[in-house]
Amino acid sequence: MMQINADYTIIDHTWLWRADHDVGGLVYDRKNPVDHGLVVNGDNVTGYGLFSEHSLDDLLVWNGNGGKAYFYQSEMPYDVTQEEYGTKVGYRVGDNVTSHEAYGVGVYTFFRDYTVSPDSGIAVPSAPGVTVTNALGVKLDGLGGLQHIINDKGSGTDEFTPLTYYCNWNNEEVVFLQ
């Protein structure tokens, strides 16, 4: 939906939403297709109040170095299968990124049509300059949930644990609270 290629850019309050309903009612089976809500390729990009919902691939992909995100909320799509979405995430920092800071990252699920349990809600490279502070996983309703919060670490969400936190990820120190 939105791609940032310029360096030193500020993104302020965006809501990038793939429609989960239209004039005909609820959307099923990957209709209204869009891959990503936000792709950031520029360096030193800062985002404030970012929202991305229901896209059919990783909801956010951050490929630029020096990025900072302050508050990000996402909701995975309702109408995908485990095969289609099991490795997708709500927030992905590219493998080549060496510096990135994210504060207040929330990944929500409501898999309405099929049981889906993605590996993680957030995927970041193992680099000392990449940090995530105050990550949150929420199962709103539906089937499945997240297996882990960040990089296959931390508790996931399910019918018995609809809310889970990961306080600090920086590849050296991990503090977890549930």
Report the distance separating Cα 177 and Cα 84, nearest Å.
30
Report the distance separating Cα 158 and Cα 117, nearest Å.
9
- Domain positions in the chain are 2-177
Report the distance separating Cα 107 and Cα 100, nearest Å.
18
pTM exceeds 0.75: yes
**Does 75 participate in catalysis according to the annotation?**
yes
- Which of these is catalytic: 53, 75, 101, 172? 75
Superfamily of domain 2-177: Single-stranded right-handed beta-helix, Pectin lyase-like (2.160.20.10)
pLDDT at 70 over 90: yes
| Tokens at 156, concatenated | 């996931």
Q: What is the pLDDT of residues 123-174, one digit of tens each?
A: 999 998 999 999 999 999 999 999 999 998 889 999 999 999 888 887 655 5
Torsion-angle region of 117 (φ positive above 0: left; ψ -120 to 50: alpha; else: beta): beta
